[in-house]
Structure 1
Amino acid sequence: MTVKDITKILEELAPLAHAEEFDNVGLLVGNPNMAVTGALVTLDTLENVMDEAIEKKCNLIISFHPIIFKGLKRITGSTYVERVVLKAIAHNIAIYSMHTALDNSKMGVNAKICEVLGLKNPEILIPKKGVIKKLVTYAPVAETEKVKSALFAAGAGEIGKYSNCSYSLDGVGSFMAGDLANPSVGKIGEIHFEKETQINVIYSFEKEKKVLEALFKVHPYEEVAYEVVTLENTNQDIGMGMIGTLETEMDEEDFLLQVKSKMNACVVRHSQLLEKKVKKVAVLGGSGAFAIAAAKRAKADVFITSDIKYHQFYEAENELVIADIGHFETEQFTKDLLVDHLTKKIPNFAVSLSESITNPIKYL
């Protein structure tokens, strides 16, 4: 298998198009057509991880965090980032990062936290906006089903657990073919009226190229009339954070101690306990202060995340408990998630879970 083959499987779990604009995801180092001898899955691509990959004869590192985040003006080995890149190139090791693409996946980072904590019926906490598009096009009545089938096959018309969704209106279209035209219906120089169907379908924005290619390939007209609109609707399957419920409600302190144990956290920093039962829990792996308001709107009893600053704890405002368990701790099980995904998809492929310690924070 090639690097491209494996990353295609990973992108079934977390399409790179779903990553945040500020991020740097995808293949960061290496040739996409290189044959892979083995893959090492890690949270961070550090020098000790690179040495582990060399020792285990893995020429692909699948990393959650991108080792290259900002542009490199020179690669001299003066920083740990440059040394990693130099060693990767010297040993012909490819590096692929998923980061916020996996954060935004319904089966990604936050789904794994929910699984570890035993949260039921998890839903996206902050659904992503601007990712649903609507295609409106017009086809001769006799060709309508053919056009719709092609659009559905390309991924249009999928809404939650439903597929092949569309809305159609019948009407009459008119046009006049010019001298250089090659019309499938009508005659050059004459106004033609055709019974047509207006077809309306939505699709996720990363599918736009495939959807439009399918439209142009199957549509009978030489010039295809269509319009694309970005909708304000949110996609409930893409977004940051998740919220779920405990099977049995718990006391706040007991729940936080359980979180500490299950998430292997050395310490739990939290806001004022409210002496209420915990039933509804919001989670967001990594730095999650931006989601405090969303957790409050969702009526979470506890919000578990990391990198909360002093004044941000005040934002709990006695509406919920904010629990900071550590950045590494919230994301550590991401490695298991990726290994499980690859093992199920390609069971005979050599994929290893990195044993290297990459947490930069130590506790006394």
Structure 2
Amino acid sequence: MSGAAYLARSDQVQNEISMAPVVVADVGGTTTDVCALFPRQAGTWVEIGGVRSAFSMPKVVSVSLGRGTKIEQNGDIVTVGPESVGYFLTSKALVFGGDVLTASDIVVASQAAVIGDKSLVSHVSPKLVKEARQQIKVIQEHAIEGMKLIAEDAIVILVDGGSVVQIDTLDGVCEIIRPPFHDCANAVGAAMAKVSGEVDVVKILEGVNEGDIIEEVSTAAIRKTVLAGAQLETVKIVSIENMPFHPKTLDIPPQIRPFPDKDLVPSSSHVAKSNEILSNKDKDPLEFTSSPSALIDIETYRLEVDENGTWWVSEVDCEFLATGCSVSASGGGGPGYVCYLTARAAFKEGKRLSAVDINTVGFSAILY
């Protein structure tokens, strides 16, 4: 981010258009990583390529889109990603004599950039190119929208070599900046990066001067920064967070859960076997590395409801339901992410899930 800011002089852009959020999109060979120019710390988890991680890091939205992203066509259906040829781009992409259609090939077929031999993609149909470009556009828009905190159109700074895949205007974006030497932004950022140190401690203040403790911890942080390679005379304290807490609040009350009468416990014939849904040992992990909603156009997406009024739930529906239940606390059991993963596993095994009106279910019915 610092390299992108330096190359684009985006601090000046931020001052000129104070209402517009500035977003950096780092497009590599496999993923597009989107972060605010002045990043905020992730509150809980960070999703990388559709996979949740608990690393302490700035809030980043990462989607499976890069210059090596595979483009596949099955009949009239065109899919973009999430798989990528990665660093095999120069041997597997069509423009380099390979046999895999990639996002780079779509760019060349669109005559938006000169990469490899353009004659090797002359057979790619305009319809396929148009559909692939539309999906690339939607993926980029969703990633940028997920990083914005306000509804105003964003300024996007595109960096890294994969930024060539961005060839269409994006909704929700007022300006796209591709600075000089954008493909070297990461190297520039690493070269100008500053060394830092952080100390996190718990201290008992009883009988001790608080100022002395802050001085002690500050000295430890400076020492840690110097050991990391900083020059002592250039080190300064930029942030001190003092958070009081009461140890008694950490007491965990006992949890008592009464067991129901034996007659009220459903028989084993009414309980779903966990291995029918949760068995994923034979599944390819890549099947779970992308959020289903990232691959659709939300504005045109429709539910699947048959002539009998039965709603056949899709993976996209389950993702939206899990998110909605977590936000509105209507799930009854906390975040619905685990249930969402269970449903996705069922879909991968060829099962179908239906949603029914609760009023059509008998009072004594058992649902599983």
The structure richer in strand per residue is 1
Higher RCO by CA contacts (8 Å cutoff, separation 6 or greater): 1
What is the TM-score when the length of structure 1 is the normalising length? 0.23
